[in-house]
Amino acid sequence: MASEGGHGPQTSGDYISHHLQNLQVCKAESGEWVWNQCAGNPLAINVDSMFWSVFLGLIFILMFRSVAKKTSSGKPGKLQAFVEIIVDFVDGSVKDTFHGKSRLIAPLALTIFVWVFFMNLMDLVPVDWIPLAASASGIPYMKVVPTTDVNITFGMSISVFILIIFYTIKNKGIGGFIGELTLHPIAPPLKGPGIIAAPFVIAFNFILESVALLAKPVSLSLRLFGNMFAGELIFILIALLGIWQLPLHFGWAVFHVLIVTLQAFIFMMLTIVYLSLASETH
Amino acid sequence: METVIGFTAIAVALLIGLGALGVGIGMGLLGGRFLEGAARQPELAPMLQTKMFIVVALLDAVAMIGVGIALFFAFANPFIGQLQQATLPAGG
């Protein structure tokens, strides 16, 4: 089953791998920067993901800022009502879940929710449109959904992880942070004859708790990546079907709208929950 | 080479299928409990629905990580590259 999308005759395997390839730039061994010859180079930069994520982030910031500057309580326009709904929703979620005191959490949650939602929404643009336009202007590969790139999702989740550690140390001190890692879930016996077992209990606690701590950013990013990558791959596979793709595309796109919104919401909720756990002082 | 490709195909199917099986049973139980809770106290239904969606996305995570890894093996199998590297100097 061959499919031509303006790239000439190719097999379906070629079509799929073509659409799964990022636009990469990296430094070759000779020291010069080359495009798209970076297979396996860990220092390669995915230019298309960087461009689309920054572009969508700018759209979010500029749109919300323009609404904020022109707020009118008498006759709110439709865009202002829409922005107010989103801000209210995020504010309600933060108030319900976060029991500490911080001025960073609610703007962080709003940014994460709307930015991830916009990036996921690019998955609903038909698979071939933007890459065809790009290859018409000489760009060979273009993946338009930044959240299907592991680098983007790990970038966000590692930033959240750094914030978790920062908030833990800020609210509980370094002693509290280390205590959380070594004194839970089994309290080591520090008095009496059982003190011989204390180092083993502490080591056991440390292994369990550090795995749980590291699982937070890894699961946060891979959840978003896995959902979006699988969705995009199914869109590509349906696009291989020729004329029968239209009803299948429509059905899958309707389901994918739910996934897109849900994943953005979950990323935001888990960020709030993790930061709330880091900030609670018993 | 054929055995590597064949076993990779079976592994991909197991990854996706077992993940789907577990998630299917889990979400079925979750949805059932939600409906029971909403039937007992209808005024709590919106709050319960929000919490249900949170748990749905958490369940999805592990299944989706499995699907991601399985699709990686389906389309960019690293074992084939390893095999080609290993058999090349032997006279391939």
Domain ranges of chain B: 2-77
- SS3 state at A43: coil
Active site residue B29: no
pTM of the model: 0.84
Query: Is B84 or A38 the better-scoring residue by pLDDT?
Result: B84
Count Cα neighbours of A200 within 13 Å in the Cβ-side half-sphere: 4
Instruction: Note whether B68 contacts A229, CB cutoff 8 Å.
Output: yes
The per-residue pLDDT for A9 is 55
CATH 1.20.59.10 at B2-77, yes or no: no
The per-residue pLDDT for B11 is 95
Question: Exposure string (b/e) for B5-41, b if CB count within 10 Å is 16 or more?
Answer: eeebeebbeebbeebeeebeebbeeeeeebeebbeee
Instruction: Note whether B67 contacts A262, CB cutoff 8 Å.
Output: no
Distance from CA of B47 to the nearest CA of A (A): 11
Three-state secondary structure readout of B18-34: HHHHHHHHHHHHHHHHH
Q: Comparing A159-168, B48-57, B83-92, which segment has the lowest mean pLDDT?
A: B83-92
Using a CB–CB cutoff of 8 Å, tell me whether A7 touches chain B. no
Range 241-280 of A in CB contact (< 8 A) with B:
262-263, 265-266, 269
Using a CB–CB cutoff of 8 Å, tell me whether A22 touches chain B. no
Secondary structure element (H or E) that encloses residue A26, with its range: strand A24-27
One digit per residue, pLDDT tens: chain A, 282 residues?
A: 334 444 555 777 778 878 888 888 887 777 778 887 777 777 888 888 999 999 999 999 999 999 888 887 777 788 888 999 999 999 999 998 888 788 889 999 999 999 999 999 999 988 888 888 888 888 888 888 999 998 999 999 999 999 999 999 998 889 989 988 888 888 888 777 778 888 888 888 899 889 889 988 998 999 999 899 889 988 888 888 877 788 888 999 999 999 899 999 999 999 999 999 888 865
A264 contact residues in B (CB cutoff 8 A): none
CA–CA gap between residue A172 and residue A156 (Å, rounded): 24
pLDDT interval class at B90 (50, 70, 90): low
The per-residue pLDDT for A278 is 87
B5 contact residues in A (CB cutoff 8 A): none
The per-residue pLDDT for B92 is 45
- SS3 state at A3: coil
Q: Does the pLDDT value for residue B91 go beyond 80?
A: no
The per-residue pLDDT for A1 is 37
B57 contact residues in A (CB cutoff 8 A): 223, 262-263, 265-266
Span B12-28, pLDDT tens digits: 999 999 999 999 999 99
pLDDT interval class at B31 (50, 70, 90): very high
